[in-house]
Structure 1
Amino acid sequence: MAEAIERRSIDVVPAEERHGTPISQFTLWFGANMQVTAVVDGALAVVFGADALWAIVGLLIGNVLGGIVMALHAAQGPRLGLPQMISSRAQFGVYGAVVPLVLVVIMYLGFAATGTVLAGQAVNKILHVDTAAIGIIIFGVLTAVIATLGYRWIHLLGRIATVLGILGFTYLGIRLLITDDVGALLGAKPFDVVTFLLAISLGAGWQLTFGPYVADYSRYLPADTPERTTFLATFLGSVIGSQWSMTLGALVAASGAGFLANQVGYLGDLAGPAGIALLIYLVIVVGKLAVNCLNAYGGSMTLLTTVSAFTRAARIGPAARAAYTSCFLLVSVLVAIFASADFLDNFKNFVLVLLMVFTPWSAINLTDYYLISRERVDVPALYNPDGRYGRWNVVALVSYAVGIAAQIPFLAQKLYTGRITNALGGADISWLVGLAVTAALYYPWSRRTTTPVNT
């Protein structure tokens, strides 16, 4: 069993341990997106007022735009051989990178907890039990096992989730065509720019929040893997999988109000006979397990990256990674048990808030990697606060703060709606503002202050 557990954590993956092909990136991200939370995300656009047709179009635009940014992060993995957030030290400084790292941990916890709520419902359906905590705890244990085993097992789970997701979601789509007049669901409402932009934001937010950990799962590929190939495999897997799930969600939400009260149960009822419903619940569990393992694995990497900034450790053993993974999942399970009410409304706001804090990070990371450092990174300096990248990078931290602040007037949140958003009729375009303002500030400022790495 010891040999089956991944040995690497925040350290560089050496050439002799590189393996796999880009197709593994396709199946990983396709399988991770063929899951019930993506169905809920697609349903949200309809729940909050969009016509099903325009919701699907808006979600597609958002998935494509966000998927481009997300896949550009993935392309860094084979070249650097590092987890994604370690490379942020090149922009923010060894200590400064802790600022976005803390927000990333919160993101992982949020997605793990909200996903565990839905997966726990499916586990309970399979076991025929009514106590919500039972399904949540069982699912948490399953996640802990796979996430602790690490990289190879996570990719294997992605392949299984891909096959089951295609079969299960295709069947549900056929059932929806049989039981409802799908044509009547499309174009039932006039086009509304506010809800259309909301759909775009939901799709983009879904993709962009993968950015802080997507390279964690491409870093074992051989260093000579073409960036274009890694980009396309990740982009297509994530966008096709998420759009498929979200389209189903938009149509299911438009077909009736039953989905709002019981998302997992509604899909089971849609499946029809009890035996087939049981298989659909299994598909839901496997799909959620695939993405929850990404959250747990990425969460443990992020926690280790945060701690190692101050301990100066360049390598963490499997036992420590397992301990951090277990602690992370324990917290997420507790959150899932005690914070499962008003799931749909809370999830919508959660995704859009994350969009506000991660678009500036993506803008800084990608601008620096591709346009300023031009893919040259001093890897040993990433672990040394006294090295090239220093403790704190004021340029990145100020740009990050300005990028977040610039979005506030454009927010459309439950607790706060910006003045400009009100003038736009409630349309939320904050994520576009965050990307543009952050990149426009960081690029010229960093060019004047950064000393290129010679390789």
Structure 2
Amino acid sequence: MAATSSTVERRSIEFVPSSERHGGVTQQFTLWFGATLQITAVVDGALAVVFGAHALWAIIGLLLGNLFGGAVMALHSAQGPKLGLPQMISSRAQFGVIGAALPLVLVVLMYLGFASTGTVLSGQAINRILHVDAPWVGIVIFGLITFVVAAVGYRWIHGLGRIATVLGMLGFAWITIRIFTAYDGAHLLADATFGAVPFLLAIALGAGWQLTFGPYVADYSRYLPADTPARRTFTATFAGSVLGSMWAMTIGALLASIPHSSFLDNQVGFVGELAGGGLIALVIYLVIVSGKLTINTLNAYGGAMTMLTTVTGFSKRSVVRPALRLVFVFTFLALSVVIALAASADFLDNFKNFVLLLLMVFTPWSAINLVDFYLVSRERVDIPALYDPEGRYGAFDVPALITYVIGILVQIPFLAQSMYTGPLTKMLGGADVSWIVGLVVPGAIFLVWGRATRRPPERTILPEGADDGAATTGAGVDPDADGDAAHDAEEVRR
């Protein structure tokens, strides 16, 4: 039976059979709306103005980036109901059962970075609620709360998303009103001057924000019934993530445009003061904690799932007991709390820059995964082979791995990060277009190379004993695919 709201989730890296599928696409909207309507997205929007964009053009650029990146992210989400698998397990179909560990290690590092920096911000809000000065108090409390929700799993995570959505809408509505009444928000949008470089940087900020969700977005749609239309999963995820992100980023762009704004120096305190202080500020701090708790839980749950995917690729395990999943969740969160406690302000700034640099590893992974699933394999996956290094996908997929490395290398000349600025970026005046290069180049290479080398099954192959109808079949039969019905049946029995 599926885990109930009061029990720990029993599934982890394995396939979810149809008897345990539940829920509707509305929960995808509330989860991603609640997770993205939060203070880190506010900071992301503020950075667009810090980089030199006028508030109006920053908002337009952020919107374009969110629309494009959100579409890519939502295409990953649509894979969840079809496959019933965590996102990074399905990537073994592209990179091989062991080869998938290459992007997986970098994924864990990035989510660990986001979790630790998010824990610092949330700890500040908790300390203000409790009226304590010791930084470790709020950090540890937030880490423990995150562990409880991530440990229980899927149902509680979606329940938290609904709570964060309601609280976020109320809290951010009040902040929006305060911006336009206390600081004349309309005036902040007036006299807009356009600059191409900061405008492109704003687009990159919006797109990069959305693309970072790609490696775990299907983790939270994989329990939906297999016959859930992909269009509905896509639309709900896309709408929730883009609307939540844009509301928060718009507020950030406006806050950074306030003359002599101290928002970036004291994000939590500034927002509390803007809200009006006193009891209202306490409510806003609760809103901040609920939003950060939602996204931090996603980071912890997805980070632990990614760690399990990496380890089981070598151990050949296809099922992981709930107790082991809890150990990985705890380990991930313990590391994030230790980093948050030990980090100086300078360290956190440097760590954030390092994390931003790691974004370059996600665009080629995303391009390869989507091109293979939708255009090469055409939604047909041999699920049992995803756990067998000697199966259809092998231990390593050389074309995918080479394409992935190429996808990273071609971005280097176009990078515009504080740690490194590429030579072509300097020629472009500082504009960051690396994410576009990181999507287009490996996507085009793998479309040609993948079609020439890959042999997907004629239809999706389910694990032995899976319920009928637990996964959808492909959208057609590739005349070049190897394997007839007998071969596919043998693959299921192995």
Shorter-normalised TM range: over 0.9
Corresponding residue for 1:370?
374
Task: List aligned pairs for 1:400-419, cutoff 5 A.
Answer: 400-419=404-423
Question: Alpha-carbon deviations, 1:17-65, whole Å to 9, x = none?
Answer: 0000000000000000111111111111112211111110010000000
Q: What is the rounded CA distance, in whole Å, between the counterparts of 1:73 and 1:253 in structure 2?
A: 33
Corresponding residue for 1:306?
310
Q: State the Cα distance separating 1:349 from its structure 2 match.
A: 3.3
- Code of the residue aligned with 1:152 in structure 2: it is R
Corresponding residue for 2:489?
none
Question: Alpha-carbon deviations, 1:38-94, whole Å to 9, x = none?
Answer: 111111111221111111001000000000000000000001000000001000000
Corresponding residue for 1:449?
453
Question: Alpha-carbon deviations, 1:89-113, whole Å to 9, x = none?
Answer: 0000001000010011011101101
Question: Alpha-carbon deviations, 1:407-435, whole Å to 9, x = none?
Answer: 01101111221111111000010000111
User: Are 2:143 and 1:140 equivalent residues in the alignment?
Assistant: yes
1:360, 1:400 within 8 Å by CA — same for their partners in 2? yes
Name whichever structure is richer in helix by fraction.
Answer: 1
1:206, 1:351 within 8 Å by CA — same for their partners in 2? no
TM-score of the pair, normalised by structure 2: 0.90
Question: Alpha-carbon deviations, 1:351-387, whole Å to 9, x = none?
Answer: 6423311000000000000000000000000000000
1:50, 1:189 within 8 Å by CA — same for their partners in 2? no
Q: What is the rounded CA distance, in whole Å, between the counterparts of 2:351 and 2:397 in structure 1?
A: 33
Corresponding residue for 2:398?
394
Corresponding residue for 1:280?
284
1:205, 1:354 within 8 Å by CA — same for their partners in 2? no
| Gap runs ≥5 in structure 1 | none
Q: State the Cα distance separating 1:158 from its structure 2 match.
A: 0.1
Corresponding residue for 2:463?
none
TM-score of the pair, normalised by structure 1: 0.98
Corresponding residue for 1:315?
319
Q: What is the rounded CA distance, in whole Å, between the counterparts of 2:363 and 2:350 in structure 1?
A: 20
Q: What is the rounded CA distance, in whole Å, between the counterparts of 1:420 and 1:43 in structure 2?
A: 26
CA distance change for structure 1 residues 347 and 72 in 2, over 3 Å: closer, same or farther? farther
Q: What is the rounded CA distance, in whole Å, between the counterparts of 2:313 and 2:352 in structure 1?
A: 33
Corresponding residue for 2:480?
none
Q: What is the rounded CA distance, in whole Å, between the counterparts of 1:170 and 1:339 in structure 2?
A: 33
Larger CA deviation: 199-208 vs 43-52: 43-52
Corresponding residue for 1:330?
334
1:69, 1:208 within 8 Å by CA — same for their partners in 2? yes
Q: State the Cα distance separating 1:350 from its structure 2 match.
A: 4.7
Corresponding residue for 2:478?
none
Question: Alpha-carbon deviations, 1:125-152, whole Å to 9, x = none?
Answer: 0011111111111100000000000000
2:57, 2:192 within 8 Å by CA — same for their partners in 1? no
- Higher-Rg structure is 2
Which of these residues, 278, 290, 295, is aligned with residue 291 of structure 1? 295
- Code of the residue aligned with 2:147 in structure 1: it is A
Task: List aligned pairs for 1:114-129, cutoff 5 A.
Answer: 114-129=117-132
User: Are 2:365 and 1:361 equivalent residues in the alignment?
Assistant: yes
Q: What is the rounded CA distance, in whole Å, between the counterparts of 2:136 and 2:93 in structure 1?
A: 42
User: Are 2:269 and 1:260 equivalent residues in the alignment?
Assistant: no
Q: What is the rounded CA distance, in whole Å, between the counterparts of 2:192 and 2:412 in structure 1?
A: 30
Question: Alpha-carbon deviations, 1:243-281, whole Å to 9, x = none?
Answer: 000001110111142102100000000010300100000
Corresponding residue for 1:208?
211
Q: State the Cα distance separating 1:340 from its structure 2 match.
A: 5.0
Corresponding residue for 1:217?
220
Corresponding residue for 2:36?
33
User: Are 2:231 and 1:228 equivalent residues in the alignment?
Assistant: yes
Q: What is the rounded CA distance, in whole Å, between the counterparts of 2:358 and 2:247 in structure 1?
A: 23
User: Are 2:23 and 1:20 equivalent residues in the alignment?
Assistant: yes
CA RMSD of aligned residues (A): 1.4
Larger CA deviation: 386-395 vs 44-53: 44-53
Task: List aligned pairs for 1:53-72, cutoff 5 A.
Answer: 53-72=56-75
Task: Report how many residues are paired.
Answer: 455
Q: What is the rounded CA distance, in whole Å, between the counterparts of 2:29 and 2:348 in structure 1?
A: 28
Q: What is the rounded CA distance, in whole Å, between the counterparts of 2:355 and 2:436 in structure 1?
A: 15
Q: What is the rounded CA distance, in whole Å, between the counterparts of 1:72 and 1:351 in structure 2?
A: 24
Q: State the Cα distance separating 1:443 from its structure 2 match.
A: 1.0
Q: State the Cα distance separating 1:348 from its structure 2 match.
A: 6.4
Larger CA deviation: 383-392 vs 350-359: 350-359
Corresponding residue for 1:184?
187
- Code of the residue aligned with 2:377 in structure 1: it is S
2:62, 2:203 within 8 Å by CA — same for their partners in 1? yes
CA distance change for structure 1 residues 15 and 383 in 2, over 3 Å: closer, same or farther? same
Q: What is the rounded CA distance, in whole Å, between the counterparts of 1:131 and 1:58 in structure 2?
A: 39
Corresponding residue for 1:93?
96
User: SS of the residue aligned with 1:415?
Assistant: coil
Percent identity, aligned pairs only, is: 66
Question: Alpha-carbon deviations, 1:186-231, whole Å to 9, x = none?
Answer: 2455211111111111100000000000000000000000000000
CA distance change for structure 1 residues 269 and 343 in 2, over 3 Å: closer, same or farther? farther
User: SS of the residue aligned with 2:82?
Assistant: helix
Larger CA deviation: 68-77 vs 342-351: 342-351
User: Are 2:193 and 1:156 equivalent residues in the alignment?
Assistant: no
User: SS of the residue aligned with 2:411?
Assistant: helix
Which of these residues, 42, 46, 69, is aligned with residue 45 of structure 2? 42
- Code of the residue aligned with 1:24 in structure 2: it is Q
Which of these residues, 418, 422, 430, is aligned with residue 434 of structure 2? 430
Q: What is the rounded CA distance, in whole Å, between the counterparts of 2:106 and 2:348 in structure 1?
A: 22
User: SS of the residue aligned with 1:4?
Assistant: coil
Q: What is the rounded CA distance, in whole Å, between the counterparts of 1:351 and 1:122 in structure 2?
A: 23
2:179, 2:185 within 8 Å by CA — same for their partners in 1? yes
| Gap runs ≥5 in structure 2 | 460-494
Q: What is the rounded CA distance, in whole Å, between the counterparts of 2:297 and 2:404 in structure 1?
A: 29
2:110, 2:358 within 8 Å by CA — same for their partners in 1? yes
- Code of the residue aligned with 2:458 in structure 1: it is N
User: SS of the residue aligned with 1:56?
Assistant: helix
- Code of the residue aligned with 1:124 in structure 2: it is N
Corresponding residue for 2:490?
none
Runs of 4+ in 1 over 6 A off after TM superposition: none
- Code of the residue aligned with 1:83 in structure 2: it is P
Corresponding residue for 1:109?
112
1:202, 1:352 within 8 Å by CA — same for their partners in 2? no
- Code of the residue aligned with 1:180 in structure 2: it is Y
